[in-house]
Each structure stands twice: as C-alpha cells, then as structure tokens.
Amino acid sequence: MVNAETPAVCDRFKVDLGGHEIDHFYQVDLPDLVIPVVEHNSGDSGKRYPTKHAEYPDYGGTFTASLYARGEKNAIDEWWDTITSWEEGENEEAISISAYAPDEERIGRWEFEDAKLIKYQYDDSLSGGEAMKITITVSYRKMERKEP
C-alpha cells in the first residue's frame, strides 16, 4: 500500500500527466519561449528601410518540476509507479501545468504536446531526512499557454 504521506502536500502547481493530476509540486521551471526575429531591408532601388518580423516560435525542449515526498524510497517509488501507469484511453503525451495563487485561484495554464517523462530523480533531502526532493524532467514538442 502507498504511504499516505507520500508526497508532501503543496498546492502551488498541479501537473496533469495524461489524466493523472498531481497537486503536490512546489516548483515548476518552465522553459523560455524563443521567437526568432528576422531583419531585412526593403524598398525600391532608392531608399531602403530595415524591416523586422517574427518567425514561428521555436518549440520543443524540456522542463522540470519538483516535489517533496515523505517516507521510504520504496513507498515513494510505488506511489510514482501508480501515478505513471496509464490505462487505455489515457494519454501520457498530453501533459499540462496549472499554477495557483494562495487563494486557490488558477492564474496560469500551459499545455504540452507530444510530451514524455524522460527523467525521475531523487535530489536533496531535508535536514533530518524528513522528506526527499524529487525532480521530474519532461520533454515536449510544443508548448501553449492557455487562459486561466
């Protein structure tokens, strides 16, 4: 049975891993969206004017999300295996993140297409070994910000 204290409670971010919503993440490091700008000269043979326009956004990359979990590593691993066991009809590749204000109002939402969990690692533990920091890394093809 999964330890009831795994993971530690936090309500800043909710991460939906293809139908499995986890509301315990305290930190999510979203990537910067890069939009290349092309500059060229336009005009006739007389005076030339520099013109700038945006190209398509540069999609794709990775992001990380962290949570603290209490208990034995075996219980944490069992909880994680339960969360990442997708059934028919669920889609691991449809990952989304919602950010919440202290009054529980959703203030932002991001959706990721063709997303995959590529890394799950134990990082630091709190003093006294009360909890361990776990960081997941997700790769994706496209990121889109949605209205809260």
**In a domain? residue 7:** no
**In a domain? residue 1:** no
Q: Give 88-126 pLDDT, tens digit per residue.
A: 666 667 889 999 888 888 888 999 888 888 888 887 666
**In a domain? residue 19:** yes
Concatenate the DSSP letters of all residues of 64-118 into one string.
EEEEEEES-HHHHHHHHHHHT-PPTT--TT-EEEEEE-TTS-EEEEEEEES-EEE
Q: Give 124-148 pLDDT, tens digit per residue.
A: 666 666 778 888 888 888 888 888 7
Name residue 55's amino acid: E
Domain that holds residue 79: 13-146
**In a domain? residue 4:** no
**In a domain? residue 70:** yes
Contact 2, 75 (CB under 8 A): yes
Q: Give 32-90 pLDDT, tens digit per residue.
A: 766 677 777 776 666 777 777 776 666 678 888 888 887 777 877 887 787 777 776 66
Domains: count for the chain: 1
Q: How far apart are CA 128 and CA 70, in angstroms?
A: 12
Q: Give 1-33 pLDDT, tens digit per residue.
A: 334 355 555 668 888 887 788 877 888 888 776
CATH number at residue 71: 2.40.30
Torsion of CA 56, 62, 65, 70, to 10 degrees: 160
